[in-house]
Amino acid sequence: MPRSPFRGSVPGDRLYDPRHDLWVRRDGDNGTVVVGITAFGLFLSGELVAFTAKPRGARVERGRGLGTVESSKTVLAVHAPLSLDVLDINEIAEERPGLVNREPYGAGWLLSGLPLDWDAERAFLVDGSAYIAHIRAQEPEAVIEP
């Protein structure tokens, strides 16, 4: 049975890591970032049933593991979209991962951190338009909602 095409949103107020289907949002003027899984990443992996993050204070280099997510299909490493020190973990998402499925761009964020080299590593992230192009390259029938 063929699966339905992706139907979801790509908020324009953040940047995206198309390699790992994560989003990054700068949080105010203090330089911190919030990281989460995109709706498209959830579509590809299946419904999340568990999320475990690195502990507060952990230093993680770009591309290395920030934690793991377990979906109905597989267990995956969450790769850091940029090098950072973990400041906060969304403990509610760890306790109730269904929140990530329902609100991936809101209350379902994964963690926040302080980037180690934002100016250099920001170049590895793309804006919403480029991320939509990434989705359409993989899923031409995708319906992207505002």
Nearest Cα neighbor of 60 from 25, 86, 34 is 86
Residue 30 lies in a domain: yes
Number of domains in the chain: 1
Residue 145 lies in a domain: no
CATH of the domain at 59: 2.40.50.100
Tokens 């911190």 appear where?
A: 32
DSSP β-bridge partners for residue 36 = 23
Residue 8 lies in a domain: no
DSSP code, position 43: H
Residue 2 lies in a domain: no
Rounded to the nearest angstrom, the gap between the alpha carbon of residue 22 and the centroid of all alpha carbons in its chain is: 3
Helix (H) or strand (E) holding 24: strand 22-27
Residue 25 lies in a domain: yes
**89-132 confidence digits (pLDDT tens):** 999 999 999 999 999 999 999 999 999 999 999 999 999 999 99
Say what the pTM is. 0.95
Quote the CA–CA distance of 17 and 1 in Å, as a whole number: 30
pLDDT value, residue 2: 64
